[in-house]
Chains A and B, each alone.
Chain A
Amino acid sequence: MTPFTTVTGAAAPLMRPNTDTDVIIPIQRLTGTARDTLGRYAFEPLRYGADGAENPDFILNRPAFRSAPILIAGPNFGCGSSREGAVWALMGMGLRCVIAESFGDIFQGNCFQNGMLPVALPADAVERLARQAASGAPVTVDLASGTVTPPEGPPMPFTVAPLRREALLEGLDELGQTRKRSAEIAAWQERDRAARPWIWRETA
């Protein structure tokens, strides 16, 4: 996994609430598009018109935000479908961090699997940040110190579960970490086969 330490750059405000993963990456792009080219289709229904031309009003099409590494979003960002392609598409267009009041649970989990940092801040902090970032002034997100530094004013603290934080900072592979516990898993399963034999198909 790509480690995440710190990122500085333009932060595009996209304050609509409940941005779902169908809007982040439409389903037809998941059956016919290679994972590493999904970035072109991120936010497709918002980013392009029906004729395929760029929508000049969409925030990530504006010159100041075309290569923004940070997105500031309305609440419940990434709700809906579990498609991990949503994270791949956002990263494919250069985003590394999304700041919002809240996130879809599954989307949030998928971010951590891919080196994308979801930062949850209180609603008023998100709004303040969005106002300040609207000019394209740079924002810094630092995972080690747990702070978002806005264009003006003091750093805003955020927390990430220690387990997630460490994995992101080091770029740790979750599967590799779990495999170190294979003896514990085997022992649990051994007990479970006796306690709940109906779970295990060969004994049910």
Chain B
Amino acid sequence: MPTLLDRLWDPHVVADLGDGWSLLHIDRVLMHDLSGWRAMEEMRERGLAVAAPDLAFATPDHAVSTAPGRRGDSYGPGERLWSGLRDGAARNGIPFFDLGQVGQGIVHVMGPEMGITLPGTTLVCGDSHTCTNGGLGALAFGIGSSELVHVLATQVLRQRKPRAMRVRFEGRPGPGVTPKDLILHLIGRIGADGGAGHAVEFAGEAIRALSIEGRMTVCNMAIELGAKMGFVAPDETTFAYVAGRPFAPGGAMLDRALAQWRGLASDADAVFDREVVVDAAGIVPTVSWGTSPEHTIAIDAAIPAPGAAPDAERRAAWRAALDYMGLTPGRPIAGTPVDWVFIGSCTNSRMSDLREAAAVARGRKVAEGVRAWVVPGSEAVKRQAEAEGLDAVFRSAGFEWREPGCSLCVAANGERVPESARCASTSNRNFVGRQGPGARTHLMGPAMAAAAAVTGAIIDVRRLAA
């Protein structure tokens, strides 16, 4: 009766530390310029050696410019982070995928596409969206700087096993409803702390039917539920995705791996500490209206009034959010004009996302006064999109086609949505100031963001389809 969490966690326990705590072996460490650089510096200052350089991988994504023609020093304050990560990786024998090379990109896009993220692995990064990698059936979670140094120096972490939670999306969503809508709907329903202290297994018919990229979109926002880990049991879709990737096993080694990976599932009689069932057929395109990922509503709903909040603290939070967002309660969210559109981030910057957005952009024009950016998640995504002509579709519609990186999701590279500007964004966080001081973010899926770009307002993409 073990859960998938048990099957991922238990084999990695090097030592039982008591009270549910383990010394947990870590199979993969991903590093980016923001946290990886700092860890490399601290290792050097403290005279620490990297315990297992062949289990670590590095690429810059946060503080590098995404402007066409960019270099590592194009964004001044990021230059030492980029070069520090590069030099630290070289010093320690860690592969570093530099700008312009396949392997460069948002770490959580790069890991899976390079075959670094594998089913059944434990994987960490100094980045909370590491849970994205759970889409492949990995136990993947974000850590802070101190823990990053700890894992680099020892290849283990001291961790308490989280409680097991399962979210089952039963039934199939209707046309025009995407993985992003599933997860935004869920967070709106159970709250930004709905998964706190838990590892979340996403399951059910609607999840099974998703591509690996779609599963990654769902797992990406597990942290927005308060869960540091989210994952999907690997299946034939997963195994087909992994086969043939640069760092994935091949041949007889792949067969050996598959024999183990096929056992990575929760038993039929597994008991979960918390279980949530969602009717996927009842979900419609969903957008955020406020400043927490739990502030989401259906596209056909009205902007909520603070009086409807469940308690006094939330009433005050909703009021502050509406004020920050410049929205009037009671009005429909659809029709809210936007100034910016961002299609990118570790949530929605993979091929399936770009194809979905391009299908909307094709033959249309970005509305006057709107700036719309497409930032592919990785160099490999960029090259594939260009091979398919998607860059031309976006460009001729008036979108800017940029270089891979985190860009406007986190605004750590000088790229910002201006103060008070309203942005339709495929990213994962609508926090105060997240896309730049005073910027107003509305989270949504790629087709919805593209529809906002071409109409100049938040709109139900299904109404554009004709």
Residue ranges of A at the interface with B (Cβ–Cβ < 8 Å) = 15-18, 20, 22-23, 26-28, 30-32, 45, 50, 74-76, 79-84, 87, 102-106, 109-110, 113-114, 161-163, 174-175, 178-179, 181-182, 184-185, 188-189, 192, 196-202, 204
Contact = CB atoms under 8 A, between A and B. Distances in A.
B192 A76 contact: yes
B260 A196 contact: yes
A175 B150 contact: yes
Interface in B143-201: 143-147, 149-150, 153-156, 158, 160, 162, 192-193, 196-197
7 contacts: A16-B313, A23-B431, A84-B146, A110-B144, A174-B158, A178-B23, A200-B54
A163 B431 contact: no
A102 B150 CA distance: 25
Contacts of A16: 313, 316-317, 320
Nearest to A74: B313
B268 interface: no
Contact of A104 (B35, B226, B257): B226
Interface stretch (B278-286, B327-335, B396-404, B433-441): B433-441
B253 interface: yes
B294 A185 contact: no
Interface in B364-389: none
A192 B154 CA distance: 16
B60 to A, nearest CB: 12
Contact of A18 (B147, B192, B254): B192
B292 interface: yes
B81 A31 contact: yes
Interface in B80-106: 81
Nearest to A111: B144
Given A22-B434, A82-B127, A102 B196 contact: yes
A185 B313 contact: no
B3 to A, nearest CB: 18
Interface residues of B, number: 76
Chain A to chain B: the 9 pairs with minimum beta-carbon distance, closest first: A198-B249, A113-B146, A84-B144, A201-B54, A110-B144, A76-B193, A82-B142, A82-B128, A84-B145
B313 A82 contact: no
Contact of B253 (A17, A26, A204): A204
B209 to A, nearest CB: 28
Contacts of A22: 429, 431-434
Contact of B54 (A102, A114, A202): A202
A83 B142 CA distance: 10
Given A18-B292, A30-B34, A81-B429, 4 more contacts: A22-B429, A22-B433, A76-B226, A163-B19
B325 to A, nearest CB: 14
Contacts of A83: 35, 144
Given A27-B410, A105-B226, A201 B160 contact: no
Given A17-B314, A113-B144, A185-B155, A50 B412 contact: no
B15 interface: yes
Contacts of B224: 80
Interface in B1-31: 14-15, 17-21, 23, 25, 27
B27 to A, nearest CB: 5
Contacts of A45: 432-433, 437
A81 B62 CA distance: 13
Contacts of A102: 193, 196-197, 226
A1 to B, nearest CB: 9
B247 interface: yes
